[in-house]
Amino acid sequence: MKKIVTRFPPSPSGYLHVGGARTALFNWLYARRMKGTFVLRIEDTDVRRSTTASVDAIFEALEWLGIDWDEGPFYQSKRFDIYKEYIQKLLDSGHAYYCTCSPEQLEVMRKTAMATDGKVKYDGTCREKGLGKTENAVVRFKAPLTGTTVLHDVIKKNIVFQNSELDDFIIQRSDGTPTYNLAVVVDDITMGINTVIRGDDHVSNTPKQILLYKALGSPVPDFGHVPMVLGKDRSRLSKRHGAMSVTAYRDMGYLPDAVLNYLVRLGWSFGDQEFFTKAELIEKFNLENIGRSAGVFDKDKLLALNADHIKATPPDQLAKHLIPFLKERGVNAEEGEFLESVIKTLNKRSKTLLEMAEGAIFYYVDDFSYEEKAAKLFFKPGVLDMLKLLTEQLEQTEDFSEKNLETVFESFIETTGLKFGKIAQPLRSALTGKTVSPGIFEVLEVLGKDRTISRLNKAVQFIMSK
């Protein structure tokens, strides 16, 4: 069985978006599942649009997602000598020729074809002239005039193209630079790529590339063209649908594994299973289960899946993702037991890491202000004696475990005759400054005895000063 070699060839003219990330993921997962090789190639021949910042952004996004590569990154801009060598091979074998037709001549061809309802394509003026290289000449591929070219697509099945409909397309511009179709084929041949998974917007390029493979005497890779990703209104995905850069989701507090999970489900299925770990995706991903219908991007579903991944991720692993969000909020948290205990109180109620960071601040900051609503509703003079009595009770408590604290409060309720609801909200406001927080006993255990007593005394002083 052949070793699978896939590739991801982004053009560095912007950030890595949702569709591009999904293409990278499908190729990466298939290579990992088949114990093959995943190649990263930067298609930067368009010097005007390609930027170093975009290249760096692509690397950053892939690394955050955990999509690593076995070979590369290769840069097309550094491979021009290789492309020229292969173009010369096509010229020498009679599969390509020089063309000196001017832009004006080409415009006449276009208008003539349109006037006769014919296909707009090059009419073959220079095809049999045997011209040599000149300053303004381009090189065209000599496409077959009859017969068919068949794309054996593992997703779309067989697609048949009539060769009479194809063009003698340009493979080298007049300035000596290769065109996309030529460069891609040469790259895939020289890098040993035998499996190409890409968006179905590339289907129209594929017959040209198949002809180039055959003309160069190279095996044609297995192709799989994946349907596009659409917005919820079924139109092409755009920023208004949430099609931001992959790293924008990182900055909004999404976990990389949640984004991976969601991206792979935009077009691939495994029964009714929705939640996948990265290990499960590598184990189960295949080409057969990629659908033929467009994936629909739904921000709400991504958010829900992110919440599920936050719940499922062990606190010690979640900590490294949460720390940057805490630091942005002035909290210098460190990995360890305390942060993990904080996470355990928040992971079931946080949809994003940003939410979790906001909810965690009170654990680290003792000198916080009380929310106006909390102070108004729960810091009334009538709760003063209750808070003082509760403080005395907790000062005598040595075991601040959640289980023991429940027993302490049961005793306190029995002694005072107060209902827990009357105690819980003033206590929550005293401990956190907020009206909403994790469970009271969870908070007490994490804060510990000394910080709990300190915060209760602070609340008592605040009420007395009103």
- Residues carrying an active site annotation: 239
Task: Give bridge partners of residue 99 from the DSSP assignment.
Answer: 138
Cα–Cα distance between 308 and 453 in angstroms, integer? 35
How many residues are there in the chain?
Answer: 466
H-state helical runs in 159-205:
180-190
Cα–Cα distance between 283 and 459 in angstroms, integer? 54
Q: Letter for the amino acid at 262?
A: Y
Q: Are 384 and 463 in contact (CB under 8 A)?
A: yes
Cα–Cα distance between 258 and 392 in angstroms, integer? 46
Q: How far is CA 14 from CA 7, 20, 52, 194, 208, in A?
A: 19, 11, 10, 27, 27
> Which residues touch 461 (CB under 8 Å, ≥6 apart)?
none
Token couple for 189? 């041949």
Closest to 221 measured CA to CA, from 252, 253, 188: 188
Q: Are 363 and 447 in contact (CB under 8 A)?
A: yes
Helix (H, G, I), strand (E, B) or coil at 235: coil
Task: Give bridge partners of residue 74 from the DSSP assignment.
Answer: 41
Using alpha carbons only, give the angle 325, 238, 59 rounded to the nearest 5 degrees.
50
Q: Is the peptide bond before 73 cis (omega within 30 degrees of 0)?
A: yes
Burial 236-258 (b: 16+ CB within 10 A, else e): ebeeebbbebbbebbeebbbbbb
Closest to 231 measured CA to CA, from 285, 300, 303: 300
